[in-house]
């Protein structure tokens, strides 16, 4: 089977970076009150800047599909002829702009220079970007195509704006309940960032520059063991089962903020590191990977809160990935979900640090129902 190489990388951020002090200028305040959890969450997650596809009035400036298409155009310097050479387009995101049509075909619509190519939209959250990457990789290994583009992106900021929570807030006041939103809804407002990254993948390595050979891509889901942790457009019942947005009235959708993103922080803390170790050990064993040869470890982190916990767990399980091997840009760009690892790879390549023979291990966890994807790359 042919080798598969990442030959070009690119990313796109909408607008200027937004600092911690500016966040509520873009996301608004709920009930005209500053969030009580914002400073606590920011102190824990270590994020200093992020990007929003919003202006300060909460108006959208870009769609998710548009952000993704601009990252893809960056791969080929917006050259129409090179766009025509793409044979396969795969795009992952947590929340597309619409339920139908699929995200990737909407991205394709922003790229009219391309032909009538195959287009794939894997569903999921953070791992969806890696599922897109794996589909492209396997298609090329099987000899189906020679040139593909995979991408990961997010545009969640509009869903984090205060106006999505006002009705629920007022309803809670009417019932004389605590007027503060539940922590599982509020804390995510201070975690997430908009942006996109893309890879140009080819079966032939260019003679010049640095390319990354894809050695393997391995995924694991633990949905058979653990209930739902992060969710949207449904709600979690007391017995752990999920109730779909389709089973709520229009009024309930608004009053309960069913369309907001929520997370069960207890489940997150109990499982995200533990199961990630299990998935890594499985991948290492399956591919007979010697971790001492890994030069760079690129973990997709939602928060620096988990960095030390992962490091301790690695040492407890004799996993040779010390912090000096880690590469992350979370503090500078925020949590871009499905796009995070794409942006990290792009920045690492352009940093000038890579040398031929270096091995790069990527880790993308997804707390939605605890899925993980690992991938090994070699600089060549």
pLDDT tens digits, residue range 235-274? 999 999 999 999 999 999 988 889 888 899 899 999 999 9
On whether the CB atoms of residues 112 and 74 are closer than 8 A, the answer is no
| Token pair for 287 | 């591919």
Whether this model's pTM surpasses 0.85: yes
| Token pair for 120 | 């794939």
Whether the per-residue pLDDT at 185 is higher than 90: the answer is: no
What domains appear along the chain, each with residue ranges and CATH number? Answer: 5-208 (3.40.47.10), 215-379 (3.40.47.10)
pLDDT tens digits, residue range 57-91? 999 999 999 999 999 999 999 999 999 999 999 99
CA angle 99, 53, 365 (to 5 degrees): 65
User: What is the average per-residue pLDDT within 91-101?
Assistant: 97
On whether the CB atoms of residues 52 and 204 are closer than 8 A, the answer is no
101-110 long-range CB contacts below 8 Å, 24 or more apart? 103/64, 103/65, 103/68, 104/132, 106/63, 106/64, 106/65, 107/65, 107/68, 107/69, 107/72, 107/151, 109/65, 110/65, 110/66, 110/68, 110/69
Q: Which residue has better confidence, 171 or 142?
A: 142
Strands of the sheet containing 5-12, edge to edge, are 118-120, 88-93, 147-154, 195-202, 5-12, 212-221, 371-379, 359-366, 294-299
């Amino acid at each position: 089977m042919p080798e598969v190489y990442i030959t070009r990388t690119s990313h796109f951020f909408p607008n200027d970076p937004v600092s911690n002090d500016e966040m509520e200028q873009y996301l608004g305040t709920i009930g005209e009150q500053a969030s009580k959890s914002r400073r606590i969450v920011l102190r824990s997650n270590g994020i200093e800047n992020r990007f929003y596809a919003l202006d300060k009035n909460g108006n959208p400036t870009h769609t998710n599909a548009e952000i993704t298409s601009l990252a893809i155009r960056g791969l080929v310097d917006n050259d129409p002829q090179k766009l025509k050479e793409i044979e396969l387009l795969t795009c992952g995101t947590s929340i597309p702009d619409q339920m139908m049509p699929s995200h990737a075909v909407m991205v394709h619509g922003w790229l009219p220079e391309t032909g009538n190519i195959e287009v794939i939209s894997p569903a999921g959250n953070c791992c969806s970007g890696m599922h897109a990457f794996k589909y492209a990789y396997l298609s090329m290994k099987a000899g189906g195509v020679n040139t593909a583009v995979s991408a990961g992106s997010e545009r969640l900021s509009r869903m984090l704006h205060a106006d999505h929570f006002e009705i629920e807030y007022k309803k809670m006041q009417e019932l004389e309940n605590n007027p503060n939103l539940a922590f599982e809804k509020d804390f995510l407002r201070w975690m997430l960032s908009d942006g996109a990254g893309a890879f140009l993948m080819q079966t032939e390595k260019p003679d010049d520059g640095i390319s990354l050979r894809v050695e393997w891509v391995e995924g694991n889901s633990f949905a058979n063991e653990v209930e739902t942790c992060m969710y949207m457009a449904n709600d979690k019942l007391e017995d752990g089962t999920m109730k779909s947005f389709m089973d709520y009235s229009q009024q309930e959708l608004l009053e309960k903020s069913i369309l907001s993103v929520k997370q069960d922080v207890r489940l997150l803390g109990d499982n995200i590191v533990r199961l990630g170790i299990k998935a890594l050990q499985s991948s290492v064993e399956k591919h007979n990977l010697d971790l001492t040869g890994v030069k760079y470890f690129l973990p997709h982190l939602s928060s620096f809160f988990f960095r030390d916990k992962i490091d301790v767990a690695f040492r407890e399980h004799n996993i040779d990935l010390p912090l000096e091997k880690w590469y992350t840009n979370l503090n500078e760009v925020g949590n871009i979900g499905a796009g995070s690892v794409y942006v990290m790879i792009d920045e690492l390549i352009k940093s000038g640090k890579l040398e031929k023979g270096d091995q790069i291990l990527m880790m993308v966890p997804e707390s939605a129902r605890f899925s993980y994807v690992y991938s090994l790359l070699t600089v060549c």
